[in-house]
Structure 1
Amino acid sequence: MDPEDFAGGPGTIDDYEGLPCYRPGSLPPEIEYTDDLLAVYGDAQYALGRLATLHRSVDNENLLIAPFVVREAAMSSQIEGTNVTVSDIIRHEVDSPPERAAADSRDVREAYNYVDAVRQGFARLSGSGGDGDSEGISVELICDLHEVLLSDVRGVDLNPGEFREVPVYIGSPDGSAEGARFVPASPDTVDLLMDQLVAYVNRGSYPPLIDVAITHYQFETIHPFQDGNGRLGRLLMMLQLYDAGLLPEPYLYLSAYFNRYRRQYLDYLLEVSRDGAWEQWITFVLNAIAEQAIDAYDCGVELQSLRDDYYSRFPNRPAVRDVIEYVFEEPYLTAPRAIDATGRSRQAVYDAIDALQGEGIVEEISGSERYRVYEAPAVLDIVGSP
């Protein structure tokens, strides 16, 4: 990293044992409300508001929460270089799973850790995390979620849940400081910068959607952990939107957009540091929110419509309807797990699965006589293609 490349940016260069490290500038930056920025802000605000209406039209929130969280986990893991699919993550929940489509068990565990971290983060902000008290976004919460993300996966030996005490290098093909495209904040400043960032997250300065873009840049530029910063940074965006009252549940999977436009994502982050290109970066994030909110809304409507269609086929069979509900939460299912989830008798669940098979709603895929695994192809078609 050449320090001269960052002379026009909002930050400064710190020396760490002879290594130049970039310290982001203090928040808030000065943002000009151009017509273009206001237009995309309006689009994002509208799309997110419409997405929030899904929350009011379903009687079982897990109908949407379960597939949406899995979608985000799959996309977030793919950004990190895995081949994990939505199906891989869902199958992870099934005992004696069928052959996985594209990922080894380590990659699936990494993605499923993301599912766990999303659920824990939303639970703690809502006050349902165990002690009944809600909490704001804090350094403690950030570190705890980082520890969840890195549990038993790559990076587990890199001090999960603890801020780094060594420098890290971004975009270095050989892993060296000399080849790095960017060297984040000096380890000597990480604690202070994270305290300042969390204070800003809870105080804010601009409308929440703009502050989400600003603070995501700041988090990724600080790069407070040795590994897992990207996954955690994307999760924090959802938590901020929830904390601001703009997202009632984890319905928004921004990782799909960032994965699709990965090069622009990385370039625009760097251009803020080099040139102070805030409008370009904020516009990019607002476009991500708008596009993914539209996609999530359409997905939610499709899921509800499909569920209603399935219900209409069994108007007087409550046990079958209970299993249908479970199918949307777990599109790969087994009879024992469906019995536990629905509370229905063994015979009622087996009869329900037979009925769903007869309608083509589920298909047996394990080829086993004793331990059968079923999938719901129409549900997977909707959930599996963000």
Structure 2
Amino acid sequence: MLQFEYGKVLQRLMMPGVVSAIGDVREHRGRQELYKSLQPAVLDRLCEVAKIQGTGASNRIENISTSEVRLRELMERKVKPANRDEREIAGYRYVLDTIHESHDSIPITPGVILQLHRDLYRFQDVSFAGRWKDSDNTIAERTEDGSMVARFVPTSAAATPSAVERICDEYARWSKGATYDPLLVSLIFVFDFVSIHPFADGNGRMSRLLMLLLSYRSGYDVGKYVSIEAEIERTKTTYYEALAASSPRWAQGESDYAPFVTYLLGVMTACYRDLDERVSLLSSSAKGEDVLRAYFAGLTGTVTKRQIMDDNPTLSRRTVERVLQRLQAEGAVKKVGAARATAYQRIDQGEVS
């Protein structure tokens, strides 16, 4: 059976690329502490937006979705789940709320992980909720000819309980020491969790929820204000590439954790940079028009009015609507779609609208 030895893994991770990446995250975290005292109202608003975006993104990665309106209503508990996808989304919201409210008092133990998994399915009647897998599973991928091939074989069902207990023990041992940053220990844990694949269903969403929980416990809580799940969804191809690069010989205890760990550190750095930009923009004395001009200048793709307001929480609906009209009249922004599908897109210089 695989013996998890985080001390050896952490030693191997002390390479220039990983050390530089963790240094970037630490630097950004230092600035975030200033934001908490200077802009508490802004951060509260960003927190609510990140919950909505994170829940939507983490579920979409697993092909679970609903409309933007229904997602927001489910997050605000204004409606009850109407189908299986919405019940899955409501369960994710419930666990995410638990993590946001109580992360420092949630121990990392097999029992707690089982409880969180049970809560993930609290709106569904499924027999596997809160239980380790009872049969072996395989992570497969579809080839160009349409056939399915095994990409990775996780830990057997029989060995899963002891494997999860072992990584929890290793996390407890190494996350409390002063030698290594607890965030690195957390990312090793997340990779091992994904590789063990301990549940019949819900492993991907559980891994992202656990990443948030462990990063908050490590003092890195950017995910409260900018959705880490959304950044993973945006870079999903790179995520799977990093996972594949770190997977070979994992069962033999010879895996290279660096690609996966470096990728997730990059995700966190991207979220911190996004937070820097948002707080800087919101803290400036710029008028609403200037804020939205700068916002569209950096925009790729389309965005709804609701998303514009989420990304610029200090602007009123009236201001957003007024500036959108002006930008459209100038030919800087164009409207696409209609009714509930209405969105807005920047018009690049020289483009014919």
Q: Taking structure 2 as the reference length, what is the TM-score of the superposition?
A: 0.68
Q: 1:163 to 1:303 in 2, by over 3 A?
A: farther
Q: Following TM superposition, by how much is the alpha carbon of 1:290 offset from its aligned partner in structure 2, in angstroms?
A: 0.5
Counterpart residue number, 1:316 = none
Q: 2:85 aligns with which of 95, 107, 114?
A: 107
2:133 maps to which of 164, 177, 184: 164
SS at match of 2:113: helix
Consecutive unaligned residues in structure 2, runs of 5 or more: 250-254, 289-305, 311-315, 323-339, 346-353
| Residues 142 and 267 (structure 1), Cα distance of their counterparts in 2 relative to 1, 3 Å cut | same
Q: 2:71 aligns with which of 56, 79, 89?
A: 89
1:117, 1:148 within 8 Å by CA — same for their partners in 2? Answer: yes
Partner residue of 1:193 out of 163, 166, 170: 163
Q: What does 1:212-223 align with in structure 2 at a 5 Å threshold?
A: 212-223=186-197
Tell me the SS of whatever aligns to 2:272: helix
Q: Tell me whether 1:63 sits opposite 2:45 in the alignment.
A: yes
Alignment identity in percent?
Answer: 22
Q: CA deviation at 1:192?
A: 0.9
Cα distance in 2, alignment partners of residues 113 and 124 from structure 1 = 17
Structure 1 counterpart of 2:150, which letter? A
Counterparts of 1:50 and 1:255, CA distance in 2? 22
Distance 1:27 1:262 in 2: 27
CA contact (8 A) 1:64 1:251 kept: yes
Looking at structure 2, the residues matched to 196 and 73 of structure 1 have their Cα atoms a distance apart, in angstroms, of 29
Which residue of the partner structure matches residue 72 of structure 1?
54
Contact 1:193 1:222 in 2 (8 A): yes
Task: Select the residue among 259, 283, 287 that pairs with 1:280.
Answer: 259
**Partner of residue 26 from structure 2, selected from 41, 45, 48:** 45
Note the aligned Cα RMSD (angstroms).
3.8
Work out which of the two has the higher radius of gyration on C-alpha atoms and give 1 or 2: 1
Distance 1:301 1:136, change over 3 A: farther
Counterpart amino acid of 1:216? V
CA contact (8 A) 1:75 1:259 kept: yes
In structure 2, do the counterparts of structure 1 residues 256 and 244 end up closer, same or farther at CA, with 3 Å as the change threshold?
A: same
2:114 aligned partner, one-letter code: C
Determine which structure has greater relative contact order: mean sequence separation of CA pairs < 8 Å that are 6+ residues apart, divided by chain length: 1
Q: Is contact 1:158-1:226 (8 Å) kept?
A: no
Q: Which moved more, 1:113-122 or 1:30-39?
A: 30-39
Residue 181 of structure 2 corresponds to residue 181 of structure 1:
no
1:81–1:360 Cα change, 3 Å: closer
**Structure 1: gaps spanning 5 or more residues:** 1-11, 13-22, 98-102, 127-133, 310-326, 332-355, 363-374, 382-386
User: Which range moves more in the overlay, 75-84 or 221-230?
Assistant: 75-84
How far did residue 142 of structure 1 move?
1.6
Output the amino acid matched with 1:109. Answer: R
Shift in CA distance, 138/303, structure 1 to aligned 2, threshold 3 Å: farther
Deviation for aligned residue 1:145: 1.6
Partner of 2:230: 256
- Decide whether the 8 Å contact of 2:228 with 2:267 is kept in 1: yes
User: TM-score normalized by structure 1?
Assistant: 0.63
Amino acid at match of 1:234: R
Shift of 1:213: 1.8
SS at match of 2:139: coil
CA distance in 2, matches of 1:264, 1:360: 34
Residues of 2 paired with 1:212 and 1:94: CA distance?
Answer: 31
2-structure distance, mates of 1:167, 1:152: 26
Amino acid at match of 1:166: S
Aligned length in residues: 288
Is the CA contact 1:48–1:290 (under 8 Å) kept in the aligned structure 2? no
The equivalences for 1:4-43 within 5 A come to: 23=2, 25-28=4-7, 29=9, 30-43=11-24
SS in 2 for 1:180: strand
Label 1:299 to 1:144 Cα distance change in 2 as closer, same or farther (>3 A). farther
Distance 1:95 1:32 in 2: 46
Cα displacement (A) at 1:119: 1.2
Inter-partner Cα distance in structure 2 for 1:271 and 1:136 = 30
